Amino acid sequence: MAAREIKSGIFYVGSNHWDRRLFDELIPLPDGTTYNSYVIKGSEKNALIDSVDPEKQNELIANLKDLGVGKLHYIIANHAEQDHSGGIPEVMETFPEAKVITNQKCKTMLMELLLLPEEKFITVNDKDKISLGDRTLEFIIAPWVHWPETMLTYLQEEKILFPCDLFGAHLASSELYPTDLPRVYESAKRYYAEIMMPFRNVIQKHLKKLEEYSIEIIAPSHGPVHKDTDLIIDAYRDWTSDKVKNEVILPYVSMHGSTKKMVEHLIDALIKKRITVKPFNLTKTDIGELAVALVDAATIVIATPTVLAGPHPAAAYAAYLTNALRPKARYASVIGSFGWGGKMLEQITGMLGNLKVELLEPVIVKGYPTTSDFGSLDKLASAIFERHKSIGIT
């Protein structure tokens, strides 16, 4: 994708990956993604902020050449993950004088992941600054924006924050600045849910730290550049807060209809109590959509039949992911069915150990649900309602 000017002498030089459909061989990318890289031309020195995925490194090099960047003094590595660092060796081939600026932890990881030589690095600490002549870069150490070595870079004079993955979105677009803000919001929320939700408490602290800075533009490493910085910062404050919504997330799978009948009954019972229900048929759902729903919900109910004495593998996968993503839900339960026995309930609840939830009385049915079983589901809906009421969200 062609280079574009953000401000005088500051250019986007990254790449769209329109047709990428999976990240980390795990995360669905319905809208593709971008690898954003930026070049800052100072009066004395030039700096590149992050590189791109190796698959797109030729586009980055072409953009730098098109802009007439004859000398590159610094490559700022905010993050060691290869979708941003993977192009660094090629950039260093093209600009052999360039030094990589990063923190000590990131340096170690880049040496291990990319086999870069130690003499090519300049290491920085929190709040260290580097001058490009008429422009100054300040480095903000912000570990665990999903990896331990992450940092942010702040361009002081123009008040631009380059936060790498933080505030990003997997959204390929020809627009540098978005016009469809609701779409960007949803995409950024999905990105947060899939990548950063497990680090919610750490990110809260990073948001607090950023209050010290006047920020006019946020230029992340994926998706659009934000001029409306309040939109994305306020969204992150909301997502990372302890507030939950009057919602039940209901990932389910059913083989012969028993569990499905229970799910349908529970959905109706919750709707009658004016609780928002978000069911996800695990044989069809995009796990990214499930992750997004987990950002706000107060309660998670997993519904599964019993297969070979345990939960259905699709339900086990959903439970595993939910546990790994550590959503802020307060309550959880399990509903489902079995034919002759098994340890489905113990196994699925055993997979949710990371969640700080109260486990509400499960409803496990032998065979097809009876009137009495539907009564138990009504009781579960009432228990959820009472809990939500007790925390003031009904």
Residue positions counted in the chain = 394
CB of residue 53 vs ligand FEO: minimum separation in angstroms? 9
DSSP state of 224: P
Q: Toward ligand FEO, which CB reaches closer, 107 or 146?
A: 146
CB of residue 81 vs ligand FEO: minimum separation in angstroms? 4
Q: Toward ligand FEO, which CB reaches closer, 141 or 248?
A: 141
CB of residue 174 vs ligand FEO: minimum separation in angstroms? 20
Q: Toward ligand FEO, which CB reaches closer, 163 or 327?
A: 163
Contact 81, 144 (CB under 8 A): no
CB of residue 6 vs ligand FEO: minimum separation in angstroms? 19
Residue nearest to ligand FEO (CB): 81
Show Cβ contacts of residue 337 under 8 Å, excluding neighbours closer than 6 positions: 258, 259, 262, 305, 306, 364, 365, 366, 367, 368, 369
Q: What are phi and psi of 122, to 5 degrees?
A: -120, 125
Tokens representing 198 are 């497990």
CA–CA distance, 318 with 78 (Å, rounded to integer): 32
The residue type found at 236 is Y
Q: Which residues of 49-87 are buried (b: 16+ CB within 10 A; e: fewer)?
A: bbbbbbebbebbbebbeebebeebbbbbbbbbbbbbbbb
CA–CA distance, 139 with 125 (Å, rounded to integer): 7
CB of residue 85 vs ligand FEO: minimum separation in angstroms? 9
Q: Toward ligand FEO, which CB reaches closer, 150 or 347?
A: 150
Q: Toward ligand FEO, which CB reaches closer, 150 or 333?
A: 150
CB of residue 106 vs ligand FEO: minimum separation in angstroms? 12
CB of residue 195 vs ligand FEO: minimum separation in angstroms? 7
Contact 50, 15 (CB under 8 A): no
Give residues in contact with ligand FEO (CB under 6 A): 79, 81, 83-84, 146, 165, 221-222
Show Cβ contacts of residue 130 under 8 Å, excluding neighbours closer than 6 positions: 47, 74, 101, 122, 124, 136, 137, 139
Tokens representing 325 are 């993503």
Q: Toward ligand FEO, which CB reaches closer, 78 or 299?
A: 78
CA–CA distance, 188 with 44 (Å, rounded to integer): 36
CB of residue 48 vs ligand FEO: minimum separation in angstroms? 16
Contact 90, 112 (CB under 8 A): no
Q: Toward ligand FEO, which CB reaches closer, 85 or 376?
A: 85
CA–CA distance, 244 with 231 (Å, rounded to integer): 20
Q: Toward ligand FEO, which CB reaches closer, 79 or 330?
A: 79
